[in-house]
Structure 1
Amino acid sequence: MSNYLSKRPWLIAVAISLLLFIWLFSGSLFEAQETATPEQPAQKQGLAKVEIQWLEASPMQRQHLVQGQIEAWRRVELRAQINGTVARLDQDKGSVVEQGQLLLSLSADNRPAQVARGEADVRQRQADVTAATRLRERNLVSANELIRLQSELAKAKAELDMARIQLSNTRITAPFAGVYDQRMVELGDFVQPGQSLLTLVDISQLKVTAQVAQQDVSHLRLGQTVRVQLLDGGVMEGQVHFIAAAADSDSRSFRVEVRVDNPQALRLAGASATLQIQTGEALAHRLSPALLSLDQAGRHGVKWVNDQQLVEFTPVQLISVDNQGAWVSGLPHKVALITLGQGFVEPGQQVITQLAKEES
């Protein structure tokens, strides 16, 4: 055999080349098996993994939120109409009073005497006119004389009415039922016409005022129900009572008043509140506010994954927010929302998706 190979050296070279080829091929195959496994395909190495949740739009009531100010339904500052001294404080501050109830008394001075004199003068003038009328029927008094006496009677009645008004102005009464809120004078103070005496407020109803932007005022109508969110979390309901016919020249917004019943007489006047105004039905998605992010332009939006497994960012409009989540519009009807890992991916990036586990 050795003699045979020694005579044919080319056979030895062929055998060595064949052995070398088999060794190289087996090494390459082993390396390929190590770098590509069924569990981790080569084309997906290095891609970020995110969790997604499929959301579908549903109808909801669109809301417009605007900050407002709560005011008493009515508030009046009662002022003195005459000169006088504060003679009596008939009610205490904070008292609930009825319409017509006496609140404060000023000194009458000589006003009762003026009324008595006026009444006597009217009686005398009335007797003169009665007698002159009878005489005129018999042509014993001229027509001019009768007219003069009638004129004096009318003047006496006017003076009597003035004296009675002056006397009644010593009694400061409630023009409507409400709460005796403030008093600006004390017992014995001398007051003059126009001087403030006290304030009376009606809080059986409240008035919430707000300025609504010109692009939103068209959604409002008189009598429309509005939710009023208080600072302590409480909620009241009211109706649109007034919508300004013209916008404010500075802010270009319209004044709106909402009337709210307050049967418990809660002390809310002067506080702030948020008006939640329904502006029609819209299709929207409900999601956690934590999933909202900002793009480079500062717009609110969310990240989701399209059919090509690419990340997209879509700006959204925030319709309303409550304890359960946020309602947003602007997304496709059905969307694969990224619920975990959105902070580590950018729009246009290809990702691996995994359905989020549903909370039990």
Structure 2
Amino acid sequence: MNIKEIIARRPWILAVLVSIAVVLWMLSGLNETNEITTDTSQISAPGEVGAILKVQVETRHAEPITRFISVYGRTAPTRTVTISAETEGRVAKIRARRGMAVTAGSPILELDMRDRLARVKQARASVTEHRTAYTAQTKLQKDGYVSDTQITETLAKLETAKAEMIRAQLDLDNRVIKAPFDGVLKERDVEVGDFVRSGDSVATFVDNITLIVTGTLAEQEIANIKVGDEGKAHLVTGQTVKGHIRYLSPVGDEATHTFAVELEIDNRDGKLPAGVTAEIVLRGGEALAQKISPALLTLDASGTLGIYIVDEMQRAAFIPITIERSETDGLWVSGLPDTANIITVGQGYVNPGQKVEAVRAPTETAVAAESLR
């Protein structure tokens, strides 16, 4: 006899089986609810009234450190000048190429000679002629043969001849355009055969034997900075050099509330490029600070950067901080109490004012001893 025949003869059996299945299903649901309720009741939500969360803390004491101020700027030559022709003529010879280091007084280019030398010789001859006449008339004046008026006229002609000789000599000298100081020829605006007039630009010359790094300081930082202070410059090229502050603006920018600053650095070997980004690092006085891991930093609801500590009332407290110095193994921050119990584990689960149970972080000695057991 199969199951269908049994149920057909005794239908009450089917009703019993269905009832048993429903009861078992309801009991299983109730059991799951009790398990969930039991597990949840063992967890206290952060900040819940009466909840005490265990957090791990480390006690840190403030230490005096040197503050450093970082300013970003660019390197630039100490001097950049435009060289202009002081006489007219056609370019006859190029004596220096672009990018070439040139010492003060060395020729950069030459203009054609024209009649400059002849005019110098003529002017010298005129000076000699009028000087001789003046000397002779002075002797004759003693005997009364020459009047004072004649002497005055001859002396005037002599002075005029001297002035003409000076102008002719200057014109001859200005034919050769020279470097005004030790530096580098950045640009040359003319080539052989070009005609230039007095005042025309012929070259751009820079002094990169000494470079400056220009930047701007925030107004709250200038109190600890003065001309002559030492500093460093980290160039984007990877080079780091020392220098000193040569200029600090006495007046701040009205729009940005910043002050211009210039760090002077030595570049006699010519290895430092001008016109690249650089970071100026200056000493900014002393500060009391604690060294922490960057992982301990957090933000409050308003976006303020700070750290959670455990206060004297055994409550979590959010303390805003200022980063004073950054090192490879941590940050030096100020703003904390001189002695602070910093939350190192669990800071992400606490709220300001929440009661907590502080547990000391294990020391290196304790960890080593535990590992030997």
TM-score by length of 2: 0.78
What is the rounded CA distance, in whole Å, between the counterparts of 1:196 and 1:134 in structure 2?
52
- In structure 2, the partner of 1:269 is 274
Question: In structure 2, the residue corresponding to 1:114 is in which secondary structure?
Answer: helix
Structure 1: where are the runs of 5+ without partners?
1-34, 36-43
Instruction: Confirm or deny that 1:201 pairs with 2:198.
Output: no
What is the rounded CA distance, in whole Å, between the counterparts of 1:158 and 1:203 in structure 2?
38
- Counterpart mapping for 1:302-341 below 5 A: 302-341=307-346
Instruction: Confirm or deny that 1:57 pairs with 2:62.
Output: yes
Structure 1 range deviating more: 97-106 or 249-258: 249-258
What is the rounded CA distance, in whole Å, between the counterparts of 2:359 and 2:281 in structure 1?
38
- In structure 2, the partner of 1:230 is 235
Q: Check 1:195–1:298 CA distance in 2 against 1; reply closer, same or farther (3 A cut).
A: farther
The CA deviation string for residues 208-229 of structure 1, in whole angstroms up to 9 with x for no partner, is: 2222233332322221112223
Question: In structure 1, the residue corresponding to 2:74 is in which secondary structure?
Answer: strand
The CA deviation string for residues 296-340 of structure 1, in whole angstroms up to 9 with x for no partner, is: 232221112223332211111222223232221110011121223
One of 255, 262, 268 as aligned partner of 1:257: 262
- In structure 2, the partner of 1:115 is 120
Question: In structure 2, the residue corresponding to 1:267 is in which secondary structure?
Answer: coil
The CA deviation string for residues 59-103 of structure 1, in whole angstroms up to 9 with x for no partner, is: 001222222222112222211122222211112222222221111
Q: Check 1:272–1:126 CA distance in 2 against 1; reply closer, same or farther (3 A cut).
A: same
Q: Is the 8 A contact 2:321 2:335 kept in 1?
A: yes
Offset at 1:263? 3.4
Identity %: 35
Offset at 1:357? 4.6
- In structure 2, the partner of 1:95 is 100
What is the rounded CA distance, in whole Å, between the counterparts of 2:86 and 2:317 in structure 1?
73
Instruction: Confirm or deny that 1:345 pairs with 2:350.
Output: yes
Q: Is the 8 A contact 2:183 2:206 kept in 1?
A: yes
Question: In structure 1, the residue corresponding to 2:209 is in which secondary structure?
Answer: strand
Length, aligned pairs only? 319
Amino acid aligned to 1:59: P
Amino acid aligned to 2:330: G
- In structure 1, the partner of 2:74 is 69
What is the rounded CA distance, in whole Å, between the counterparts of 2:363 and 2:136 in structure 1?
104
Q: CA RMSD in A?
A: 2.4
Offset at 1:255? 2.4
- In structure 1, the partner of 2:359 is 354
TM-score by length of 1: 0.81
What is the rounded CA distance, in whole Å, between the counterparts of 1:54 and 1:129 in structure 2?
99
Q: Is the 8 A contact 2:51 2:355 kept in 1?
A: no
- Counterpart mapping for 1:114-133 below 5 A: 114-133=119-138
The CA deviation string for residues 106-155 of structure 1, in whole angstroms up to 9 with x for no partner, is: 22222222212111111111111111111112221111211111111111
- In structure 2, the partner of 1:289 is 294
What is the rounded CA distance, in whole Å, between the counterparts of 1:285 and 1:232 in structure 2?
32
Q: Is the 8 A contact 2:324 2:334 kept in 1?
A: yes
Amino acid aligned to 1:169: N
Question: In structure 2, the residue corresponding to 1:103 is in which secondary structure?
Answer: strand
Amino acid aligned to 1:95: M
Question: In structure 2, the residue corresponding to 1:209 is in which secondary structure?
Answer: strand
Q: Check 1:118–1:250 CA distance in 2 against 1; reply closer, same or farther (3 A cut).
A: farther
Question: In structure 1, the residue corresponding to 2:97 is in which secondary structure?
Answer: coil
What is the rounded CA distance, in whole Å, between the counterparts of 1:251 and 1:240 in structure 2?
21
Question: In structure 1, the residue corresponding to 2:126 is in which secondary structure?
Answer: helix
What is the rounded CA distance, in whole Å, between the counterparts of 1:99 and 1:298 in structure 2?
58
- In structure 2, the partner of 1:166 is 171
What is the rounded CA distance, in whole Å, between the counterparts of 1:107 and 1:168 in structure 2?
12
What is the rounded CA distance, in whole Å, between the counterparts of 1:314 and 1:292 in structure 2?
10
What is the rounded CA distance, in whole Å, between the counterparts of 2:70 and 2:180 in structure 1?
36
What is the rounded CA distance, in whole Å, between the counterparts of 2:279 and 2:272 in structure 1?
17
What is the rounded CA distance, in whole Å, between the counterparts of 2:250 and 2:141 in structure 1?
62
Structure 1 range deviating more: 110-119 or 227-236: 227-236
What is the rounded CA distance, in whole Å, between the counterparts of 1:314 and 1:136 in structure 2?
101
What is the rounded CA distance, in whole Å, between the counterparts of 1:358 and 1:183 in structure 2?
69
What is the rounded CA distance, in whole Å, between the counterparts of 2:257 and 2:159 in structure 1?
55
Instruction: Confirm or deny that 1:84 pairs with 2:84.
Output: no
Amino acid aligned to 1:343: G
The CA deviation string for residues 340-359 of structure 1, in whole angstroms up to 9 with x for no partner, is: 33223222223343333557
- In structure 2, the partner of 1:278 is 283
- In structure 1, the partner of 2:43 is none
- Counterpart mapping for 1:4-83 below 5 A: 47-83=52-88
What is the rounded CA distance, in whole Å, between the counterparts of 2:190 and 2:142 in structure 1?
59
Instruction: Confirm or deny that 1:190 pairs with 2:192.
Output: no
The CA deviation string for residues 234-292 of structure 1, in whole angstroms up to 9 with x for no partner, is: 43221121223333344443322221122332233112222222222111112223322
Structure 2: where are the runs of 5+ without partners?
1-37, 39-48, 369-373
